[in-house]
Protein backbone atom coordinates (compact mmCIF):
# COMPACT_ATOMS: atom_id res chain seq x y z
CA UNK A 1 0.00 0.00 0.00
CA UNK A 2 1.37 3.41 -1.04
CA UNK A 3 1.68 5.99 1.74
CA UNK A 4 -0.22 9.18 0.92
CA UNK A 5 2.17 12.14 1.21
CA UNK A 6 1.22 15.29 3.10
CA UNK A 7 2.23 18.64 1.66
CA UNK A 8 1.70 21.92 3.48
CA UNK A 9 3.12 25.38 3.04
CA UNK A 10 5.65 26.56 5.60
CA UNK A 11 3.00 29.00 6.89
CA UNK A 12 0.62 26.07 7.47
CA UNK A 13 3.36 24.11 9.30
CA UNK A 14 4.16 27.18 11.47
CA UNK A 15 0.49 27.50 12.43
CA UNK A 16 0.28 23.79 13.32
CA UNK A 17 3.53 23.30 15.26
CA UNK A 18 5.09 24.91 18.32
CA UNK A 19 8.16 27.08 17.59
CA UNK A 20 10.42 24.29 18.93
CA UNK A 21 8.71 21.63 16.82
CA UNK A 22 8.86 23.83 13.73
CA UNK A 23 12.59 24.42 14.23
CA UNK A 24 13.34 20.70 14.59
CA UNK A 25 10.85 19.22 12.12
CA UNK A 26 10.92 21.80 9.34
CA UNK A 27 14.30 23.56 9.76
CA UNK A 28 16.25 20.37 10.60
CA UNK A 29 17.10 21.58 14.09
CA UNK A 30 17.86 19.46 17.12
CA UNK A 31 16.90 19.21 20.78
CA UNK A 32 19.63 20.10 23.23
CA UNK A 33 21.07 16.78 24.51
CA UNK A 34 19.52 15.31 27.67
CA UNK A 35 16.67 17.89 27.67
CA UNK A 36 13.99 16.25 25.50
CA UNK A 37 10.68 15.07 26.91
CA UNK A 38 11.21 11.46 25.76
CA UNK A 39 14.93 10.97 26.43
CA UNK A 40 14.33 8.84 29.54
CA UNK A 41 10.69 7.82 29.03
CA UNK A 42 9.93 4.16 29.71
CA UNK A 43 6.17 4.27 29.03
CA UNK A 44 4.72 1.76 26.59
CA UNK A 45 3.13 2.92 23.37
CA UNK A 46 3.85 4.15 19.89
CA UNK A 47 5.92 7.20 18.92
CA UNK A 48 4.33 9.15 16.07
CA UNK A 49 5.48 12.08 13.94
CA UNK A 50 4.60 15.29 15.80
CA UNK A 51 3.79 16.97 12.48
CA UNK A 52 1.47 14.48 10.77
CA UNK A 53 0.76 11.68 13.27
CA UNK A 54 2.29 8.82 11.27
CA UNK A 55 3.32 6.01 13.63
CA UNK A 56 7.12 5.66 13.53
CA UNK A 57 8.55 3.65 16.45
CA UNK A 58 7.20 1.17 18.99
CA UNK A 59 8.29 1.71 22.59
CA UNK A 60 9.64 -1.85 22.79
CA UNK A 61 12.35 -0.84 20.27
CA UNK A 62 13.48 2.08 22.48
CA UNK A 63 16.71 1.61 24.42
CA UNK A 64 19.04 3.56 26.71
CA UNK A 65 21.84 4.75 24.45
CA UNK A 66 23.05 7.46 26.86
CA UNK A 67 23.57 9.77 23.85
CA UNK A 68 21.18 12.48 25.05
CA UNK A 69 18.26 11.74 22.71
CA UNK A 70 15.59 9.03 22.54
CA UNK A 71 17.03 6.04 20.68
CA UNK A 72 15.33 3.17 18.89
CA UNK A 73 16.81 0.13 17.17
CA UNK A 74 14.09 -0.12 14.52
CA UNK A 75 11.37 1.92 12.83
CA UNK A 76 7.94 0.73 11.74
CA UNK A 77 8.15 -0.57 8.15
CA UNK A 78 7.70 2.19 5.57
CA UNK A 79 7.44 4.97 8.17
CA UNK A 80 10.80 6.68 7.67
CA UNK A 81 13.09 7.66 4.81
CA UNK A 82 16.88 8.03 4.89
CA UNK A 83 18.94 10.79 3.27
CA UNK A 84 22.66 11.56 3.22
CA UNK A 85 23.48 14.55 5.41
CA UNK A 86 26.85 16.27 5.03
CA UNK A 87 26.16 19.26 7.29
CA UNK A 88 28.59 20.39 9.99
CA UNK A 89 31.45 18.60 8.24
CA UNK A 90 30.04 15.19 9.23
CA UNK A 91 28.76 12.34 7.14
CA UNK A 92 25.49 11.15 8.63
CA UNK A 93 22.20 9.62 7.57
CA UNK A 94 19.19 11.84 8.23
CA UNK A 95 15.87 10.22 9.14
CA UNK A 96 12.68 11.89 7.92
CA UNK A 97 8.99 11.05 8.16
CA UNK A 98 7.90 9.11 5.08
CA UNK A 99 4.53 10.88 4.95
CA UNK A 100 5.34 14.58 5.53
CA UNK A 101 9.12 14.73 5.06
CA UNK A 102 9.76 16.25 8.49
CA UNK A 103 13.22 15.90 10.05
CA UNK A 104 13.26 13.37 12.89
CA UNK A 105 16.96 12.87 13.63
CA UNK A 106 19.75 10.60 12.39
CA UNK A 107 20.53 6.88 12.29
CA UNK A 108 23.89 5.38 13.20
CA UNK A 109 25.27 1.83 12.81
CA UNK A 110 26.13 1.42 16.52
CA UNK A 111 22.85 0.19 18.00
CA UNK A 112 21.94 -3.07 19.69
CA UNK A 113 20.72 -6.30 18.17
CA UNK A 114 18.73 -7.32 16.31
CA UNK A 115 19.28 -4.45 13.80
CA UNK A 116 22.53 -2.86 14.97
CA UNK A 117 20.95 0.53 14.26
CA UNK A 118 20.56 3.53 16.59
CA UNK A 119 17.81 5.86 15.45
CA UNK A 120 18.73 9.00 17.40
CA UNK A 121 15.45 10.95 17.38
CA UNK A 122 14.57 14.42 18.62
CA UNK A 123 11.87 14.50 21.31
CA UNK A 124 10.31 17.56 19.64
CA UNK A 125 9.77 15.55 16.46
CA UNK A 126 7.60 12.83 18.02
CA UNK A 127 4.61 12.38 20.29
CA UNK A 128 4.00 9.28 22.39
CA UNK A 129 0.64 7.58 22.05
CA UNK A 130 0.45 5.58 25.28
CA UNK A 131 -0.68 1.96 25.25
CA UNK A 132 -4.06 1.36 26.73
CA UNK A 133 -3.71 0.04 30.26
CA UNK A 134 -4.89 -3.50 30.66
CA UNK A 135 -7.89 -4.16 32.86
CA UNK A 136 -7.03 -5.53 36.29
CA UNK A 137 -7.65 -9.25 36.62
- What residues act catalytically? 120
| DSSP one-letter code for 27 | H
CA distances (Å), 64 to each of 42, 61, 95, in order? Answer: 10, 10, 19
The candidate with the shortest Cα–Cα distance to 132, out of 43, 61, 42, is: 43
The candidate with the shortest Cα–Cα distance to 66, out of 44, 39, 95, is: 39
| DSSP one-letter code for 68 | S
Amino acid sequence: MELEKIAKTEAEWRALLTPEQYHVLREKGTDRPFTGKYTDTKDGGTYACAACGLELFESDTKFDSHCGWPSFYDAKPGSVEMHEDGTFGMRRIEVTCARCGSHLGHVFPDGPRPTGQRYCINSASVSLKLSKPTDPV
